[in-house]
Chains A and B, each alone.
Chain A
Amino acid sequence: MDDLQIIALYWARSETAVAETARKYGPYCRSIARRILRSEEDSEECVNDTYWKAWEAMPPQRPRQLRTFLGRITRNLALSRWEKAAAEKRGGGQVPLALEELAECVPAPDSVERAVDDMALTQLLNEFLGGLPAETRRIFLRRYWYFCSVKEIAADFGISESKVKTTLFRTRNRLKQHLEKEGVML
């Protein structure tokens, strides 16, 4: 079933919408949740919550890309769960590593700095990503959006792990420079 048909089922409030979503995008959402949560039980609940959120969102929304729409919900829900787990010292997985790496991108304090809201920060990130070569962008997002390990990325792109690490390192530096150039304060 194509995405437009699935979205139409949501708008028609047909129960089949959820079954079709689970069938087509369940594995995609599960893989996002698992990388963040590392717990099968939590991931399964997170994916189920994703369907619930999708049911609440459609209507009124009509996502242009259903897969990304669902993936984004899963990622947000999983990160919230991860945060709670981390507060209880049950975190782990790729998220703390990704956070540690991204700390390198935080701009150094400067006299011309300005505080940006989340929307503006996303806009700056979009500009930054748009300026990257496609493969670099994909590697960067594979690591910090999908939380794939360096090993997984290397295998998927057919490159060495050291090349992945170097690419990520350079891209983080570029991001830091980009944010500093914009005078951003986080």
Chain B
Amino acid sequence: MKSKRILDALGQVDENYIEEAAPEATPKGKKYRWVKWGALAACLCLVLCGAVFFVNRDAPSSVADANADTGITVSEDGVAIPPANVTLAVPDDVEMCWAYAFFIYQGRCYKGYETVYDDADLIGEYLGTAAGMLDVWTPKEGYVELAGNISGDFYSVKGYDPGFMLCMRESNGAIQIFINDNDLTLKYGADLFEDRFHLSGNFEEVRYQTRASWYNSTDEIFTLEREAEPVVDDFVAALNQGEFMRTADIPLDEGQHSIYDKEIYHVTFCKNDGMTITLRLLEGGYVHFGTYFGGTCVKVDEKAFNTLIALFDSGEAAKAD
């Protein structure tokens, strides 16, 4: 098609023209001030996936394809997430693959979670040294203890179970956090958010982003004020009491083709220790934890859920300049 040639050639035009035409990152005429809870040091907005690396398209890349392929099973004991089937090998029919920074320790696969940049006092006891070693040519038998696609000394994280979370010190001083989000069974939200993340009472700021902002990447982020605290606490309590389920089992309303057709909010808890927990809130009371614990979500009591959403919708709890 001739017009496609023009479209492709336009892709290569002078970078100054492309830069000049770039859409604004934030909407014009509207700026929002960050409102701190307490004496908060720089709690940087971190991307959830942190320093992630090569490769594995076998793993679900999104909640939409996180279904039976993930091997998740549901029983009275909860939702069982099978061990990660990690491989860097590129399947023949795939051009390129992708996955997390990871390494294997005591038989568990620890995935890169986020990088904490401030001077967080998180590094605990030295536990070992990840050897790296793995690449796309490594056969399956090479996936042994301490192997991974990242190398370096790793430590426990102060206040967290090393069976769940470990960390490494980056050369620039940042701390890279790793979590083990597989080969486990989760029944209630508390199994994750309390037992592992110690969320209740340990966060000092809560931010949220609307679906439009998230979808269009306009970074229109609000920070809740202190008066929102009771609503947030109720939500966290409901989150802890909610039961885990498979994301693939979330019912879709008429006319919805995927969960992305539902109303979506993103809420980020900035913890006192510098870490963040970003949750995707899906209309109907479903709470999904980013790309981790793939294919699972927590069904939260709708009253607490909707009260929080109503707060977001009203915009009353977020102060704007």
Interface membership of B227, Cβ < 8 A:
no
Encoded as 1 (CB less than 8 Å from any B CB) or 0, chain A from 72 to 103 comes to 10011001000000000000000100111111
Q: Which one, B45, B51, B62, contacts A19 given CB within 8 A?
A: B51
CB-CB under 8 A from B201, the residues of chain A are: none
Q: Which one, B9, B21, B64, contacts A118 given CB within 8 A?
A: B9
Q: Is the interface of B mostly helix, strand, loop or mixed?
A: loop
CB-CB under 8 A from B15, the residues of chain A are: 64-65, 68-69, 72
CB-CB under 8 A from B176, the residues of chain A are: 15-16
Chain A, residue nearest B18 (CB):
A68
Q: How far is the CB of A21 from chain B (nearest CB, A)?
A: 10
Interface membership of A182, Cβ < 8 A:
no
Interface membership of A31, Cβ < 8 A:
yes
Q: A16-B172, A41-B61 are known contacts. Are A186 and B2 too (CB-CB below 8 A)?
A: yes
**C-alpha gap A44/B176 in the complex (Å):** 22
Interface membership of A134, Cβ < 8 A:
yes
CB-CB under 8 A from B13, the residues of chain A are: 122, 125-126, 129, 141, 145
Interface membership of A7, Cβ < 8 A:
no
B174 contacts A16, CB within 8 Å? Answer: yes
Chain B, residue nearest A104 (CB):
B3
**C-alpha gap A76/B14 in the complex (Å):** 15
A105 contacts B61, CB within 8 Å? Answer: no
CB-CB under 8 A from B57, the residues of chain A are: 45
A137 contacts B20, CB within 8 Å? Answer: yes
A72 contacts B215, CB within 8 Å? Answer: no
CB-CB under 8 A from B4, the residues of chain A are: 99
Interface membership of B10, Cβ < 8 A:
yes
A40 contacts B5, CB within 8 Å? Answer: no
Task: Count A-side interface residues using an 8 Å CB cutoff.
Answer: 64
A102 contacts B6, CB within 8 Å? Answer: yes
Residue among A99, A105, A158 with max Cβ neighbours from chain B (10 Å):
A99
B21 contacts A16, CB within 8 Å? Answer: no
B18 contacts A102, CB within 8 Å? Answer: no
Chain B interface residue count: which class?
A: 35 or more
Q: A64-B15, A99-B1 are known contacts. Are A31 and B9 too (CB-CB below 8 A)?
A: no
A118 contacts B49, CB within 8 Å? Answer: no
Q: How far is the CB of B57 from chain A (nearest CB, A)?
A: 8
CB-CB under 8 A from B321, the residues of chain A are: none
CB-CB under 8 A from B25, the residues of chain A are: 27-28
B21 contacts A23, CB within 8 Å? Answer: no
Q: A15-B51, A125-B13, A137-B17 are known contacts. Are A67 and B6 too (CB-CB below 8 A)?
A: no
**C-alpha gap A107/B95 in the complex (Å):** 36
User: B residues 1-38 with Cβ under 8 Å of A?
Assistant: 1-25, 28
Chain B, residue nearest A14 (CB):
B171
Chain A, residue nearest B150 (CB):
A15
Chain B, residue nearest A95 (CB):
B7
Chain A, residue nearest B29 (CB):
A158
Q: How far is the CB of B201 from chain A (nearest CB, A)?
A: 28
CB-CB under 8 A from B47, the residues of chain A are: 19, 22-23, 26
CB-CB under 8 A from B115, the residues of chain A are: 16, 19
CB-CB under 8 A from B54, the residues of chain A are: 52
Q: A15-B150, A41-B62 are known contacts. Are A100 and B11 too (CB-CB below 8 A)?
A: no
Q: Which one, A19, A79, A129, A134, contacts B8 given CB within 8 A?
A: A79
Residue among B1, B57, B174 with max Cβ neighbours from chain A (10 Å):
B1
Interface membership of B219, Cβ < 8 A:
yes
A45 contacts B19, CB within 8 Å? Answer: no
Interface membership of A156, Cβ < 8 A:
yes
Sample (17) of A-B pairs whose CB atoms are under 8 Å apart: A15-B53, A19-B52, A27-B25, A31-B217, A45-B57, A45-B98, A69-B15, A99-B7, A102-B7, A103-B2, A105-B6, A126-B14, A137-B20, A142-B21, A142-B23, A145-B10, A152-B23
Q: Which 8 A-B pairs have CB atoms at the shortest separation, nearest pair first?
A: A27-B217, A141-B21, A19-B51, A102-B3, A31-B217, A41-B62, A15-B51, A121-B9
